[in-house]
A and B are shown apart, each in its own frame.
Chain A
């Protein structure tokens, strides 16, 4: 099956099996270095990417859903300005995800930060996440390197940077 899509702002034409999961496409066809998962059952949470700006587990996305899609992996995300909010939040709090889950947890944090921005910019179905939701969402990645307090501290610090960024833009 031929699929045209955008991966990390690059237009790509893939010839892959229609039911091949996105994580395997990224690892086999594009050799994405941050994609480590081979769990194949959505349990490790290590294969998070942004699909149409929303965090998804790439092992649960089949190739045929990618027609015309915009995919951002951690490598692409590192080139965006939003990455610096989280980078600074990690430095400020002194808590970092371990190298094994760094990419995945960072993208989950990013998807949570997007709901903060959406909820402040007008009526939206996305409410600002509460503490339980934040811890639970980040817990999608099963790596236990961050405890709940660290997760919340990182989120609060990054959300503050993100809000400032929005204020400056206006």
Chain B
């Protein structure tokens, strides 16, 4: 059954310098983080085409969680379960809910934040949440023996279909989150992005308001294989709006988002995803209203 199957060479760099040099020497190698996504593909093993592997698990810089005055910086090899141990005071509520709602503890101990961001074919729950929280990503580009480091907004990592925009020699090393806490957040996921991505919809929503006036309204709708929608115009539309929202305002938000869904995707989107997306947005708005009323 396994005749002719090649055993890929595995490189295990122990420092960032080793990692850079390994990625330069083996440009076609696959970066291996937790491996949960790669190994859960049906065609993972046995396969005749297996690239060499660069395992990121032994680079200590990628496993650190740093707290500065302004930011929380998380290494890309930090697992979901390790992030949850950081504590509710430090971790934004939306991120905490998203992590807890992803898989089970047994799998979360293996899933890494960098791996969840860089899955090649489909978008999972984390990118949407990090986008709603306006996270920044540190990307190192390996240029021979040199590296170029830059911080970019997470939204620039994907196009509107959710396709990863990283080049082969790019490596996500850290994720940075501000300490400003959202007043209201909601993470809703229906379906399983790993098993039935064509039916799954995920909504991440963070709202910042002060004395019932909305300052920031960040939403991200993820359809795992077809769309990664961040409706910026809604943020502008809702800026300065008083809470609670009226039925007309909720309708306007829902309509505007659904128009965005249709206009940003030329493929036919399954009806179940459209229905779920519509209901999730409505539900999040009503929850926001409920919270704002309870704070009066």
Contact = CB atoms under 8 A, between A and B. Distances in A.
Interface of A: 1, 16-21, 24, 40-43, 48, 54-57, 59-62, 64-65, 108, 111, 125, 133, 136-137, 139-140
Given A62-B35, A64-B55, A17 B106 contact: no
Contacts of A24: 45
Given A17-B6, A18-B8, A64-B53, 11 more contacts: A17-B7, A17-B45, A19-B7, A19-B10, A40-B44, A41-B41, A60-B35, A61-B39, A62-B32, A62-B35, A65-B57
Q: Is chain B's binding surface mostly helix, strand, loop or mixed?
A: loop
Interface in B92-117: 104-107, 109-110
A137 B105 contact: yes
Interface in B37-53: 39-42, 44-46, 50, 53
A40 B109 CA distance: 19
Given A55-B106, A57-B106, A60-B39, A18 B9 contact: yes
A125 B105 CA distance: 13
A60 B10 contact: no
B271 interface: no
B136 to A, nearest CB: 27
Q: Is chain A's binding surface mostly helix, strand, loop or mixed?
A: mixed
Given A19-B53, A42-B36, A62-B39, A108 B44 contact: no
Contacts of A54: 106, 109
A64 B10 contact: yes
A114 B238 CA distance: 48
B198 to A, nearest CB: 16
A139 B103 CA distance: 10
Nearest to A22: B39
Nearest to B192: A43
B40 A60 contact: yes
A41 B55 CA distance: 20
Given A17-B5, A18-B53, A64-B53, A59 B104 contact: no
* Residue among A18, A55, A61 facing the most chain B CB atoms (10 A cut-off): A18
Contact of B45 (A1, A40, A48, A64): A40
B106 A1 contact: no
Contacts of A42: 36, 39-40, 107, 194
A41 B193 CA distance: 13
Contacts of B57: 65
26 contacts: A17-B5, A17-B7, A18-B7, A19-B45, A19-B50, A19-B53, A41-B40, A41-B41, A41-B42, A42-B40, A42-B107, A42-B194, A48-B106, A55-B106, A56-B106, A56-B110, A59-B40, A60-B35, A61-B35, A64-B12, A64-B53, A64-B55, A111-B106, A125-B85, A137-B104, A137-B105
